[in-house]
Amino acid sequence: MPIPRFTDILRAQQIIARYLPRPPLHHYPALDQLLDARVHIKHENHQPVGAFKVRGGINLLAQMSDAERARGVIAASTGNHGQSVAYAAREFGVRATIVAPERANPLKVAAMQNLGATVLFFGADFDAAREECESLARERGLRYIHSGDEPHLIAGVATIALEIIQDAPDIDIIITPVGGGSGAAGACLAAKTINPRIQVIGVQSERAPAAYKSWRARALLADQTETFAEGLATRTAFALPQKILWDMLDDFILVRDDEIRRAIVLLLEKAHTLAEGAGAAPLAGALKIAERLRGKKIALVCSGGNITTAQLRECLAL
């Protein structure tokens, strides 16, 4: 799998602009006071499917051959990757099948179905669904879309960091959530090409630390997935994102689930924005390293806003 080049990211930006609105990068003085830094939020929760991954889906299917489109596509997802594939498949007239864990976020499942995808349920977590998905892809001859090991997906989501730097050229640090790692890998590719001094920091739940441990060990490892933040919950690390992160990621932080829940509430209060667990993880991480961020210009990637009312009630009850 080739690592995307900067020219691939620029091309992805041109493609994506034809299909998706550009989410804003907003500055929030209330968050400045909280972190003693200048804080911007990249609002990927404003995307049509409420999450950043739609960029990758559009970029991938736009460059897919007619033969691949005719076969139909299949993906495994806890929700946001599936929405991305379903949205892009609808745009390009392609049949989409998504394999989701049996207890997947019902909000995200309904969104995938509303976009026209066939949703199948299998297993207790993402990786069980992924293994079933890979088996179905072989049996049915479908084009399997991995949620991380796809260069066009990574180039697509790399446009987030590209837009951040275009809108705020003096940014010092980009903090991004990590599940499989495509978003963080894309941020590294864009930021380090434009300005190697920009730091990229990843954040993951300590209750789903496979990507974090893989980054630390420089080896692909597996671990538990017990976090409520399904966008961060991958049991095994992905090869292509990790290869990029090993070379380019400046730091990686683990946060507790209660810290993520607190960050969801803070984003409601301070930025008047609704974030899911993964989308709030960058703020949770920033609070954990606030001393290092003092006086810096930082961008937090709010990767998604697909939180259920039950999850939100639990956060507000803390």
pLDDT for 1 equals 84
pLDDT at position 118 is 97
Catalytic status, residue 53: yes
Class of domain 6-52+151-316: alpha beta
Q: Tokens standing for 252?
A: 């990686």
313's CB contacts (< 8 A; 6+ apart) are none
- To the query of whether residue 77 is one of the catalytic residues in this protein, the response is no
Model pLDDT for residues 125-158, shown as the tens digit of each residue: 988 999 999 999 999 999 999 999 999 999 999 9
Q: What's the pLDDT tens digit per position in 65-91?
A: 999 999 999 999 988 999 999 999 999
pLDDT for the residue numbered 127: 87
In contact, 233 and 205? CB cutoff 8 Å: yes
> Which pLDDT does position 70 carry in this prediction?
96
Q: Please tell me the distance from the alpha carbon of residue 24 to that of residue 169, in angstroms, as a whole number.
A: 15
Considering the chain, what is the average pLDDT of its residues? Answer: 96
Task: State the catalytic residue, choosing from 53, 108, 192, 270.
Answer: 53
Q: Which of 77, 84, 205, 303 is catalytic?
A: 303
Both structure tokens of 52? 């950043």
Sheet containing 25-27: which strands, arranged edge to edge? 25-27, 38-43, 297-302, 173-177, 199-205, 251-255
Query: Is the fold of 6-52+151-316 the same as that of 54-144?
Result: yes
pTM of the predicted model as reported, rounded to 2 decimal places? 0.95
The model's confidence at residue 198, banded by pLDDT at 50, 70 and 90, is: very high
- Residue 102 contacts residue 92 (beta carbons within 8 Å): no
What is residue 131's predicted lDDT score, i.e. its pLDDT?
Answer: 94
Mean pLDDT along residues 14-41: 98
215 or 1, greater pLDDT: 215
CATH number of the domain located at residue range(s) 54-144 in this protein: 3.40.50.1100
Residues 68 and 302: beta-carbon distance below 8 Å: no
Report whether 238 contacts 182 (CB < 8 A).
yes
Strands of the sheet with 143-144, listed across from one edge = 118-121, 96-100, 73-76, 143-144
First to last CA, the chain: 44
Q: Domain map of the chain by residue range?
A: 6-52+151-316, 54-144
Name the pairing type of β-strands 96-100 and 251-255: unpaired
Could you read off the pLDDT of 28-63 as tens digits, one per residue?
A: 999 999 999 999 999 999 999 999 999 999 999 999
| pLDDT tens-digit readout, 245-290 | 999 999 999 999 999 999 999 999 999 999 999 999 999 999 999 9
